[in-house]
Structure 1
Amino acid sequence: MPAPTTPYQPYADVHKQTNGPGDARPNALQVVEDCGMLGKLTDKTILITGCSAGIGIDTARALYETGAKLLLTARDVPKLEEVIDDIVSHAQHNKTGPKPEAIEIHLDSLASVRKGAETIKTKSAGKLNILIANAGIMAVPLGKTIDGFESHMGVNHFAHFLLFQLLKPSLLQSAQASGTASRVITVSSAGHRSSTIRFDDMFWDEDPGSYHKFLGYGQSKTANVYMANSINRHYADKGVIGLSLHPGAIMTTDLGRHMTIR
């Protein structure tokens, strides 16, 4: 089948003239509604990382309305519990679905990722249909994770890569049991264009003086794209599809707190 001549862009027209928050551009819940997915995923289990702030909250809020069982992760579990209570209390359509569950994972520690994965397997009873690798950091000063990785690569990529590997059996088994492909979605960025993977000095160990925060961020976002492509290449025929996305330039989250305006 030939590729379509034009991309599917159902909201293109409303983006041609924008008027700030509250204009005609859709939010996540509207997309769920427009796709006819309200209450339609009651048989699915969805894991989303990084749900105590930013777009992770709105992703969880919208997907809660599908009726899916949600497993949400964050470093700060009390803050995440507050988010969950707000999602449930303000739900517009889902009044009877299971309450999302909070799971503590510190993505700067692979030991924490391993511990979190075990908790996920227990809470999900081995069922996982969708993994959304949303959590991340951006434009931080040069630093290292507990395991010695450059911070962006460690948090944004290696932690999520390990999480996928640990949960891969659940994704594969769930696809086989449901007859519907499982999905792994990595939240990348157009910022991936700022750097390829620096295989010769990935963590700036050899030349720390050449570090730039957007090179660090860009390298990790390129890795997110490669991860999704690799999953698709190796597991699509087994029932697990890999996807990556650019969420857009969103200035109302805390992700850019290390950025300076010049």
Structure 2
Amino acid sequence: MSKDGGRALPPRPRKGSTALQVLKGIDLSGVFILITGANTGIGLETARALALHNAHVTLACRNMDAAERVKAAIKGEKADASVATIQLDLAELQSVERCASEYLASGKPLHVLILNAGVYNPQERTTKNGFETTFQVNHLAQFHLTNLLMERLLGSSPSRVVVVASTGHQLTTIPSDQNRWWDYFSPNETNMTNMNTAYTVSKLANVLFASELDRRMRDKGVRAFSVHPGVIITDITRNAAHCKALFTCCGCATISTEQGAATTVYCATAEGLELVGGQYFDQLVMKRPSRSARNEVNWTPFWLLSERMIDKYRSTRMSAV
């Protein structure tokens, strides 16, 4: 067993393991899990592995037809798999609220929330809620979802939140002037950044969010992790030929979706990781994130910025009624 500051960690699966290999011998009966963006790529393989090991899995997806196909495919492998679907469009914060309300109304506990969904190079650079699309989908909407589900996470504790980030977060640096943060994370039409910058900024947001979430909730039984799954060419990058080059700059080679899901599954289920909540994992290995991400001075102000953005959305919505 490896050590971290005197804390015993669980044995780490071999690098290159698939999600199913990580879960070998583990029975997740009685564990309720909600996964965003679970109808394709890493999210699909994450949901499949967890459901095949008896977890109760809810697929929160924008494309419900695709979600139902995934549900049917998993049940084709394991007839008694517990898989449900729920509508979630992260580009619309109203959809986030409907999703949370529907899940809460179901009465299900929530032991693991996996924030997997993401977008790269969206067709529309600004959402109808007024935020830069990459930032809203990859962070802000899932921040909102987490807070709406927090009481259920607390009531189901010990529980975990796993945020799928990216090593790409290392390619950007947060401004020292916090007055610039709003436009840095969610630029408007006049100062819109290129797609690579928007993506790396959103991934930095993921790591900051997981770190502060863990700090706020660890004493209440909720632990959070951020993960870099590895570079996988899935739907998020298929339409952007130069995206692979972005990660090549980080020294990354591509892996399969089954391998990519392994780190998420590990952080969601491994016994002993509750000792190291708030950490960043890169392909099953606990690593230090970028200087901006690990600087605790940034964590709380970024959380408060995200709250102000949600408050702005709410006030705008109320004024439109």
Superposition TM-score tier, normalisation by shorter sequence: 0.7 to 0.9
Give the Cα separation in 1 of the matches to 2:110 and 2:182. 36
Give the Cα separation in 1 of the matches to 2:43 and 2:127. 22
TM alignment of 1:27-176, pairs within 5 A: 27-33=18-24, 36-37=25-26, 40-91=27-78, 95-98=79-82, 100-123=83-106, 125-140=107-122, 143-175=125-157
Q: Of the candidates 164, 183, 187, which is equivalent to residue 201 of structure 1?
A: 183
Amino acid at match of 1:161: F
The alpha-carbon deviation at position 6 of structure 1 amounts to 11
Give the Cα separation in 2 of the matches to 1:103 and 1:200. 31
Asked if the contact 2:213/2:224 (under 8 Å) is kept, the reply is yes
What are the ranges of 5 or more consecutive residues in structure 2 without an aligned counterpart?
A: 175-179, 246-321
The alpha-carbon deviation at position 185 of structure 1 amounts to 0.4
Q: What secondary structure, in the 3-state scheme, does the structure 1 residue paired with 2:114 have?
A: strand
The alpha-carbon deviation at position 173 of structure 1 amounts to 0.6
- Calculate the aligned-residue CA RMSD, in Å: 2.3
- Aligned position for 1:22: none
Give the Cα separation in 1 of the matches to 2:66 and 2:191. 35
What are the ranges of 5 or more consecutive residues in structure 1 without an aligned counterpart?
A: 13-24, 176-180
- Aligned position for 1:216: 198
Higher relative contact order (CA 8 A, sep 6+): 2
Give the Cα separation in 2 of the matches to 1:114 and 1:170. 14
Structure 1's 102 and 229: CA in aligned 2 closer, same or farther, altered over 3 A?
same
The alignment status of 1:11 with 2:14, answered yes or no, reads yes
Give the Cα separation in 1 of the matches to 2:216 and 2:33. 21
Q: What secondary structure, in the 3-state scheme, does the structure 1 residue paired with 2:156 have?
A: helix
Give the Cα separation in 2 of the matches to 1:68 and 1:5. 26
Amino acid at match of 1:182: S
Asked if the contact 1:183/1:240 (under 8 Å) is kept, the reply is yes
Give the Cα separation in 2 of the matches to 1:169 and 1:136. 24
- Aligned position for 1:250: 232
Amino acid at match of 2:235: D
The alpha-carbon deviation at position 195 of structure 1 amounts to 2.0
- Aligned position for 2:159: 182
Asked if the contact 1:127/1:171 (under 8 Å) is kept, the reply is yes
The alpha-carbon deviation at position 96 of structure 1 amounts to 2.9
Structure 1's 5 and 81: CA in aligned 2 closer, same or farther, altered over 3 A?
closer
The alpha-carbon deviation at position 152 of structure 1 amounts to 0.9
Structure 1's 9 and 168: CA in aligned 2 closer, same or farther, altered over 3 A?
same
Amino acid at match of 1:250: I
Which structure has greater helix proportion?
A: 2
Structure 1's 77 and 6: CA in aligned 2 closer, same or farther, altered over 3 A?
closer
Asked if the contact 1:77/1:102 (under 8 Å) is kept, the reply is yes
Give the Cα separation in 1 of the matches to 2:225 and 2:235. 24
